[in-house]
Structure 1
Amino acid sequence: MITVVEYHPGWPARFEELRAAYARALAEAGAPYRSIEHVGSTSVPGLAAKPVIDVDVVVDEADVDAASAALAGLGLVPRGDLGIPGRYAFEAPARFAPTHTYVVVEGSLALRNHLGVRDTLRADPELRDEYGPVKRRAATEAADIDEYLLLKSDVLGRILHRAGLSEDERAAVARTNRSIAGRGARG
């Protein structure tokens, strides 16, 4: 069962705790990074969400290994790209959970997808208010996370269109989501 809850005003503070811990670890390891971004539905005030903080540690491609090693030093377990080019997932230890933490390459489609959804929904309350009920309905109807992804794909495609992703880019995101759902991988 997928849990989607109403927006919680404490989510930004929890992100800031994660951001501070990750920034400290990156600095101590001398691992360059561009930014640490709160993405996903918990980053959009007023949007219903799975109660998991999504974090993108944005790096240049040459710095993926250094950033990954710094996060591993905190106890996060690298899981690889899980089929999403330019995005490297980590399993978090209990003290950081619940989070989906990623090292994401600057300029990658994965990053543009995450930031595009976040920024579009922050700027468009009508679209945000449309997306919330779709997520809640998908959570009650879906048998698993894979079906949940598929049930929200139509509105997500429209969000990405408004975010400025090209037709080819939106198709690539949709293919990736279908591929993830088809193999049962989570990330």
Structure 2
Amino acid sequence: MEKRTITVVPYTPEWADTFRQLAALYRAQLGNLITGIEHVGSTSVPGLAAKPVIDIDILIKEAAGLPPVVVGLERLGYTWRGDLGIPGREAFGRNAGTSPLDGEGTVWPAHNLYVCVEGCVSLKNHLELRNYLRQHPEAALQYGTLKQELAARYPHDIDSYVEGKTAFITGILAHTGMGADVLKDITAQNKATK
């Protein structure tokens, strides 16, 4: 299998526009099965350089609410992939470039879609990091520079790229009050497998 090149590009407001369009489709399909939709990850922070992949967390009240959401997302052209080792966060893969299906055959930009139980650690991690970077542009600039350096150093090694960002991320999360046990778990989850 051919490895994809890791590319980090300057921020563009198109990411926020794409998120709004995708979120509208999810809301139309899922309605009151969900409690919210959050644009997370680096593309959600104005001015932050990022891989051009939009990260989206759909929120549900409790794990018992997942099955009908899975059905709704399957109708939009996604496949449920399980939690991929991250408790409380369920991943969904796109079946085609036209997922989510909008009836017009739109080919959507790359995005990662997750369904998170409200209050789960993964969701808190995403929101705390996003909010901190939005409020601290100097930290966002440092993070963007780090990501560009890691992409240049590990252009075909996503595991090492992710691991290389971890100390920066956990440092920010420590500032936000996230506990040592949680930070240790995040570090372990982001460890490159050789």
TM-score, normalised to structure 1's length?
0.91
Matches within 5 A, 1:63-102: 63-92=65-94, 93-95=96-98, 96-102=108-114
Given that residues 3 and 139 in structure 1 are in contact (C-alpha distance below 8 angstroms), is that contact kept between their aligned partners in structure 2?
yes
| Matching residue of 2:47 | 46
How far is 1:163 from its partner? 2.5
| Matching residue of 2:23 | 19
| Matching residue of 1:117 | 129
**Once the two structures are superposed, what CA deviation does each residue of 1:128-182 show, in whole Å capped at 9, x if it has no partner?**
111110000011111411010011111111111122211111111111111xx32
Matches within 5 A, 1:142-161: 142=154, 143-161=156-174
Distance in 2 (CA, whole Å) between partners of 1:19 and 1:76 is 14
- Mean Cα deviation higher: 86-95 or 46-55: 86-95
Runs of 4+ in 1 over 6 A off after TM superposition: none
Q: Radius of gyration: which is bigger?
A: 2
- Mean Cα deviation higher: 37-46 or 86-95: 86-95
How far is 1:65 from its partner? 1.6
Report the AA paired with residue 132 of structure 1. Answer: G
- Mean Cα deviation higher: 158-167 or 102-111: 158-167
Distance in 1 (CA, whole Å) between partners of 2:50 and 2:89 is 21
TM-score, normalised to structure 2's length?
0.88
| Matching residue of 2:56 | 55
More helix by share: 1
**Once the two structures are superposed, what CA deviation does each residue of 1:84-116 show, in whole Å capped at 9, x if it has no partner?**
111111112312441100011111111011111
Distance in 2 (CA, whole Å) between partners of 1:160 and 1:113 is 7
Gaps of 5+ in 2: 99-107
Query: Percent identical across equivalent pairs?
Result: 43
Residue-pair matches, total: 178
Alignment root-mean-square deviation, CA: 1.3
Gaps of 5+ in 1: none
Is the partner of 2:87 in helix, strand or coil? Answer: coil
